[in-house]
Amino acid sequence: MRLYLYILLSFLSICLLNSAFAQTRVWFDHPAKQWEEALPIGNGRLGAMVYGGVEEEELQFNEETLWTDGPRNYNKKGASKYLQSIRNLLDQGQQKEAESLAMREFMGLKSESEDPSAWLEKIGKIREQKHGPFQVVFDDSKWPLIVVPHYEGWENLGLEGLDGAVWFRYEFNLSKNQLSERWSLDLNKIRTNDYTYINGKLVGQSAGDDTRRLYQIPKELLREGRNSIAIQVINLEGKGGVAGYKDTKQSIGLKSASGKIISLNGHWRYYIQDQNIPKIGSFQASYQPFGTLNLKFNHKETKNYSRILDLDKGEVCVNYDASGIHYKRTYFASYPQNFIGIRLEADQKKKITFRLAMNTKHQRAKLDRLNKSSIRLEVWVKNGAMRGTAFLQLKLKGGQVSYTGNELVVQQADEAQIYLTAATNFKSYQELNDQYSAVALDRFKDLCKLDFDKLYELHQKDYQQLHHRFEIDFGDGSQLDTIPIDRRLQRAVMLDDPGLLALYVQYARYLQIAASRPGSQPMNLQGIWNPSLEPSWGSKYTTNINLEMNYWPTEALNLSELQQPLFQMIRDLHMAGAETAKEYYAARGWVLHHNTDLWRGTAPINSSNHGIWPTGGAWLVRHLWEHYRYTQDIHFLKEYYPIIKDATLFFKDFLVKDKATEWLVSSPSNSPENGGLVKGPTMDHQIIRSLFDIFNQSSKLLDADNLLRDSIIKMRNQIAPNQVGQYGQLQEWLTDLDDPENKHRHVSHLWGLFPGDEINMIRTPQLVEAAKRSLVLRGDEGTGWSLAWKINFWARLKDAQHAYHMVKMLLRPAGKGGGSYPNLFDAHPPFQIDGNFGGASGIIEMLLQSQTDGIELLPALPVEIGTGKVKGIKSRGDFQISMEWKDSQLLAVTVESLSGEELHLRYQDHEVKIKTKRGESYAFDKELILKK
């Protein structure tokens, strides 16, 4: 009876759409058809995506330390021998030469590679056979079908994790008329090498993902009627297959001199010739999925379906009625006990019947049964040092459980509870732990002794002490909560939905709580959620914007301690990056280039035209400093001071005097991913000035290193300044090279406007104008994170309506450009979590800014959110603020002083400065007059 009442009440609470629920849920009225519709849960270590299927439920899960490769050295010894030559070439304007020298001598080491020649020779033999698959007459009728082309790789079409040699075959017809023309074969891109045959004859072979395949077909080769094409594709890493065109409207096929096209898009036959490939080195490692829980039910016709991410409770619930019974499933990820919990309930007894399996995409895996109701899944990451183990325990109220065909079969239970844990052999970036599995098993056994309901309560308490610190409301958007999120996003394209902006901010907070907890890894490009063995950019940590953006709003959103994983990573990078500083620059201190991974690679990767960018570490130091500014925690500053100092020492050694201008410049480097290897990109100088300022201020606060400080102050003033160029723009480079047509997604040279603050209205109004000009020239379009960055820029420029326009762009349903997926995940595309946090940061920048002169309230408030309130927002100086506004005017504000520092508040023309006492609250009216 109690159970029934409980279910009824919780179901009713979902249906009662009162305003208290306004910004507290993201929901769908159907199960997820694709991963980007599934709903995320997480506890910093374990992450899972809930599809909520009725007949077949899938819970795709991750453990944040399951990556490819293993601990290793990333640094090329003695690379610094080439530093001067690279600099000289750049001085002489020989960029291409500098890039090729750097590519040869200045990049990081790849992981272990084997010589592929023997394997290539082996798989090449088939091309010499008399009856090989390239011949016209060949029986391929048993080969499976696959859609060709597949721009995003064969991985997306069921061949995930496949690297090797694969044959593709297809037939097409030609008429007599068509034979009179000259034809070439246009396949555009192939990943990576191909041998292409028409009617049994090789017409072309090429290598490389970016090579265009346009092969001439000798006229005599084609015939009236049936013709055949066969391609051997060899792909040893990354996405594979006949990629064709990104623009899917363009087909691959035969093209005639007169412009006619015979499309070869269609279902081709394929055959995996060999996938046991030699080891291929990679610059850095990739984040890996772990596995899935698959639950099968006998429920068919359902009514009243809902799948709800409840931001207030930190859980996902699936509700529906089938055959007159109400079913409810609850999913949560507990941080205190590090496990994922699932509860299955029904409003009648004995109605919980299902089958449960654990699966994985990893080729090498083992499933076994631990006891009557628990199973274990072990996985080995291909060609790597990593393995992981997941444990699952079922507890039932009533009913029976049995085990058949690798599945746990539950029959006629009143309720089922599932405990899921996972662990890997990761110990630190330098070490693996061979004993991990026994320890994990003991932990699991202890966990399963604990009462599920109690664990659920502990989870809620833990989650809510973070979540409840902050509230936000943009007017009365509550009625829109009746619209499922996918439709609400569609609707918001045309109609304003201020409540959706507030929801976006709370969702970002939810994602941070779910993905970044003390003791966990920092959030990678996908937070902790990744279903793919070959995720884009390895789902690692890109530091020329993405990793930092993940943590932009953390302090203001009152989640300060969630930056701890980032700080722990900075500690690791301080160690790992010292060797890179020495080997590449013969410099003291530590350096980080534009990417890192679980194993803390710090050397340049990918390509010399964008991988050599030495300011990643200096940017991360800004997060240490901002944490200090927000918390005023001097012990923290003291603890991290050696890292700040060592980053400073690196640049003291690294900066060089530019002969032409006499300024100190950063060389070699690049303005992230735009314009190749150069000396003196503007962004670097802004970041290094910020670093030097941080060093100066913190050494002063800690009364340390006076002499070094003097020399750093001197150097700081010799660094190349921000310059205004011929179009009135802020120059991206040392020389005025900016192309006004350049729409590049990165807007690196505006770093000094946001997240930096040296470009500001108070001290550098001309630079503000120039930054604005650059932003206008760059245009609004961009990838998800680029749109999100632009919200922050426009908010800093106090152009509220332009900032709002950018928010709308970020919220548009994912398509070609950046936007949002149905589950509100940011679309680069593909999914990349940075935009969720950059977007939330931008919305916060509209409400409050505290980077320069005191705390400014509602500095860039768009009319669409002209009425609202926020509670528990944090500012620099360690103040906690609550305020309310109506019709674009402030009504009242209360400031709680957590530091006892002087409070300087500004709103429009009003300004107040008062001394505060730690722990006291101060209430002000709309003119900032202190209420007694």
Binding site for ligand FUC (CB under 6 A): 525, 537, 542, 546, 673, 745-746, 783, 785, 828, 832
Q: Please identify, using beta-carbon distances, which residue of 24 and 542 lies nearer to ligand FUC.
A: 542
Which among 22, 56, 27, 39 has a CA at the least distance from the CA of 305? 27
Q: Please identify, using beta-carbon distances, which residue of 651 and 789 lies nearer to ligand FUC.
A: 789
Minimal distance, residue 745 CB to ligand FUC, in Å = 6
Which among 26, 35, 352 has a CA at the least distance from the CA of 343? 352
Minimal distance, residue 690 CB to ligand FUC, in Å = 21
**64: CB partners within 8 A, 6+ apart:** 44, 45, 46, 47, 287, 520, 521, 524, 528
Minimal distance, residue 606 CB to ligand FUC, in Å = 9
Minimal distance, residue 596 CB to ligand FUC, in Å = 12
Minimal distance, residue 564 CB to ligand FUC, in Å = 23
Q: Please identify, using beta-carbon distances, which residue of 270 and 537 lies nearer to ligand FUC.
A: 537
Q: Please identify, using beta-carbon distances, which residue of 200 and 829 lies nearer to ligand FUC.
A: 829
Q: Please identify, using beta-carbon distances, which residue of 655 and 788 lies nearer to ligand FUC.
A: 788
Q: Please identify, using beta-carbon distances, which residue of 188 and 542 lies nearer to ligand FUC.
A: 542
Q: Please identify, using beta-carbon distances, which residue of 638 and 744 lies nearer to ligand FUC.
A: 744
Minimal distance, residue 607 CB to ligand FUC, in Å = 11
Identify whether the C-beta of residue 213 lies closer than 8 Å to the C-beta of residue 190.
Answer: yes
Q: Please identify, using beta-carbon distances, which residue of 284 and 686 lies nearer to ligand FUC.
A: 284
**151: CB partners within 8 A, 6+ apart:** 189, 243, 244, 245, 246, 248
Which among 840, 863, 740, 846 has a CA at the least distance from the CA of 787? 840
Q: Please identify, using beta-carbon distances, which residue of 462 and 597 lies nearer to ligand FUC.
A: 597
Minimal distance, residue 353 CB to ligand FUC, in Å = 44
User: How far apart are alpha carbons 204 and 231 in whole angstroms?
Assistant: 10
User: How far apart are alpha carbons 443 and 438 in whole angstroms?
Assistant: 9
Q: Please identify, using beta-carbon distances, which residue of 580 and 783 lies nearer to ligand FUC.
A: 783
Identify whether the C-beta of residue 753 lies closer than 8 Å to the C-beta of residue 793.
Answer: yes
Minimal distance, residue 816 CB to ligand FUC, in Å = 14
Minimal distance, residue 830 CB to ligand FUC, in Å = 10
**249: CB partners within 8 A, 6+ apart:** none
Q: Please identify, using beta-carbon distances, which residue of 39 and 511 lies nearer to ligand FUC.
A: 511
List residues bridging with 170 in a β-sheet: 229
List residues bridging with 473 in a β-sheet: 869
Minimal distance, residue 782 CB to ligand FUC, in Å = 9
Query: Biggest alpha carbon distance in the chain?
Result: 96
DSSP state of 278: P
Q: Please identify, using beta-carbon distances, which residue of 374 and 832 lies nearer to ligand FUC.
A: 832
Q: Please identify, using beta-carbon distances, which residue of 103 and 708 lies nearer to ligand FUC.
A: 103
Burial code of 114-129, b = ≥16 C-beta within 10 A, e = fewer?
Answer: eeeeebeeebeebeee
Look up residue 657 and give its two tokens: 């005097």
Look up residue 418 and give its two tokens: 């599932």
Minimal distance, residue 533 CB to ligand FUC, in Å = 18
Identify whether the C-beta of residue 217 lies closer than 8 Å to the C-beta of residue 254.
Answer: yes
Minimal distance, residue 746 CB to ligand FUC, in Å = 6
User: How far apart are alpha carbons 70 and 72 in whole angstroms?
Assistant: 6
Q: What is the H or E stretch that residue 146 is in?
A: strand 145-148
Q: Please identify, using beta-carbon distances, which residue of 25 and 745 lies nearer to ligand FUC.
A: 745
CA–CA distance from 876 to each of 191, 761, 870, 872, 927 (Å)? Answer: 49, 18, 17, 13, 21
Minimal distance, residue 73 CB to ligand FUC, in Å = 24
Residue 687's CB is within 10 A of a number of other CB atoms, namely: 26
User: How far apart are alpha carbons 264 and 285 in whole angstroms?
Assistant: 36
List residues bridging with 321 in a β-sheet: 303, 326
Angle at 671 between CA 666 and CA 673, to 5 degrees: 135
Minimal distance, residue 574 CB to ligand FUC, in Å = 23
Q: What is the H or E stretch that residue 570 is in?
A: helix 564-585
**304: CB partners within 8 A, 6+ apart:** 319, 320, 321, 326
Angle at 906 between CA 900 and CA 911, to 5 degrees: 90
Q: What is the H or E stretch that residue 571 is in?
A: helix 564-585
Read off the amino acid at residue 363: Q
